[in-house]
Chains A and B, each alone.
Chain A
Amino acid sequence: GQSLEQPSEVTAVEGAIVQINCTYQTSGFYGLSWYQQHDGGAPTFLSYNALDGLEETGRFSSFLSRSDSYGYLLLQELQMKDSASYFCAVSSYGNTGKLIFGQGTTLQVKP
């Protein structure tokens, strides 16, 4: 089967750096995506890794190790507006565009 594990909650202070880890088990792994969701609204795409290494997009970076079936999302210079739920999601070969999401990590940023 397919499964993803990520911490349920993370707390950090404004201006700090936080890392949200994600481990996955899937057959035919293609890529790992990260999404942000505020208060049950629309999930918004943050980052995607198909190859090993680090992808940087502004304050957010995402890392993937295919051999370890592991990835993380790194958020720098945390702001209050970063308080949200963060989901990792995997896509696989031949599954017609389906994403399998993790349970989500709730990030609380404190002043």
Chain B
Amino acid sequence: DTEVTQTPKHLVMGMTNKKSLKCEQHMGHRAMYWYKQKAKKPPELMFVYSYEKLSINESVPSRFSPECPNSSLLNLHLHALQPEDSALYLCASSQGAGTGGYYGYTFGSGTRLTVV
């Protein structure tokens, strides 16, 4: 299995809702990442988990809360989001612990989030 699977593919939520994005990989990768991508912009790193521990938090607002239950799963819990948080949220994984290593980063297909 050489894929990173993200669910849901699309999500519309109100500003008072609580929702979660899920990401799963079964490649034995040691690091997992959350990125946010606005239209026509590059991906922006949000969080890095290395060996299931949070290693990088790019000063992301607390309304985004990551969780890594085990080495294959990564969640992003959302609460009290703002319309400007609408974006494509990408999960990625890598064999290296916090680096792309020899094979780079594998990205999931993303969750298109709309906050209304």
Decide whether A and B are members of one complex: no
